[in-house]
Amino acid sequence: MKYMMFVCTDAEPDTDREEWPDIEAWVAENDARGRRLRGAELAAETAATTVRVRGGELILSDGPFAETKEVIVGFDLLECADLDEAIEVARAHPMARAGRLELRPFADSEQ
């Protein structure tokens, strides 16, 4: 199954500072095992532009579409057998400790 893993900040990161995983090692391992198809870090939310069309009119606003303390700072596209494998991949990501991760399966898993 394909999962889009959104990488987000969190207002309450893990206070346990011991043995945080290394992002380079995480990418290398999951790329090698074919579980990470691609991924990227995103520019700061101040660079975001939100686009809507209403009644034929283009409405642009600066910033992300949701005004929250937690923002999406990156993504990884995962290919995993099931949710358990995706959770194993996600829990080893440093941002599982520093922030939070959202696992969203593709609506059509054939894509």
- Round to whole Å and give the CA distance between 22 and 25: 5
Size of the site for another protein (CB under 8 A): 12
Q: How far is the CB of 106 from another protein (least distance, A)?
A: 10
Is residue 77 involved in binding another protein (CB under 8 A)? no
Identity at 23, one-letter amino acid code: I
Q: Which of 5, 80, 89, 96 binds another protein (CB under 8 A)?
A: 80
User: Whose structure tokens read 């959104």?
Assistant: 6
The token pair that represents 53 in the structure block: 């069309």
CA distance 76 to 37: 8
Tell me how far, at minimum, the Cβ of 45 lies from another protein, in Å: 27
Residue 24 backbone phi and psi in degrees, to 5:
-60, -45
- Site residues for another protein, 81-110, by CB under 8 A, read 81-84, 86-87, 103, 105, 107
Binding region for another protein (CB under 8 A)? 1, 3, 80-84, 86-87, 103, 105, 107
